[in-house]
């Protein structure tokens, strides 16, 4: 089978600012400065299972690295992007990073040129579901 999936319960704490942006925070959301987010990924390998398996093992870690960078920028005020743009950049950068890692790896150990994978990943928390699909 060429498909793989990953689930990471309690993936990370997401600041509510990344979910609702600069909108006025009411008393309830002020108390909830962070929400627990869960990660889900489905990887549909083609030409073999190597890339799907690599994504299963690595994608969520690479996304966590990107989100950590984003949260640092939010904390120090060095980003003016809205919520949707922040998530778009985080997911895009993660896909580019994982794709580059696969390309740099020894083709015999991860994937020949004809092997690849599509991916559908989601971050789910109590108030939002953020989905990204890459073909």
- Per residue in 59-99, pLDDT tens? 999 999 999 999 998 888 888 888 889 999 999 999 999 99
Question: Which of these, 54, 27, 26, lies nearest to 41 by C-alpha position?
Answer: 54
Q: What is the radius of gyration, based on Cα positions, of the chain?
A: 16
Q: Which residue has the higher pLDDT, 21 or 39?
A: 39
Query: How does the average pLDDT of the chain come out, rounded?
Result: 87
The H or E element spanning position 122 is: strand 116-124
pTM for this entry? 0.87
Backbone dihedral region for residue 48 (phi beyond 0: left; psi -120 to 50: alpha; all else: beta): left
What DSSP state is assigned to residue 120?
E
pLDDT above 60 for 28:
no
Q: What's residue 7's pLDDT?
A: 98
C-alpha 72/C-alpha 68 separation (Å) is 6
Output b/e per residue, 7-16; b: 16+ Cβ within 10 A.
ebeebbebbb
Selection from 42-46, 77-81, 104-108 with the highest mean pLDDT: 42-46
């Amino acid at each position: 089978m060429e498909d793989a999936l990953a689930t990471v319960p309690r993936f990370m704490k997401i600041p509510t600012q990344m979910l609702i942006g600069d909108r006025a925070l009411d008393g309830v959301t002020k108390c909830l400065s962070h929400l627990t987010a869960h990660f889900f990924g489905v990887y549909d390998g083609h030409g073999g299972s190597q890339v799907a398996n690599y994504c299963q093992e690595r994608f969520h870690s690479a996304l966590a690295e990107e989100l950590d960078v984003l949260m640092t920028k939010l904390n120090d005020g060095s980003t003016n992007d809205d919520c949707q743009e922040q998530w778009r950049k985080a997911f895009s950068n993660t896909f580019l990073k994982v794709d580059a890692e696969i390309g740099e790896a020894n083709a015999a150990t991860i994937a020949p040129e004809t092997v690849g994978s599509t991916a559908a990943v989601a971050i789910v928390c109590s108030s939002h579901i953020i989905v990204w699909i890459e073909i």
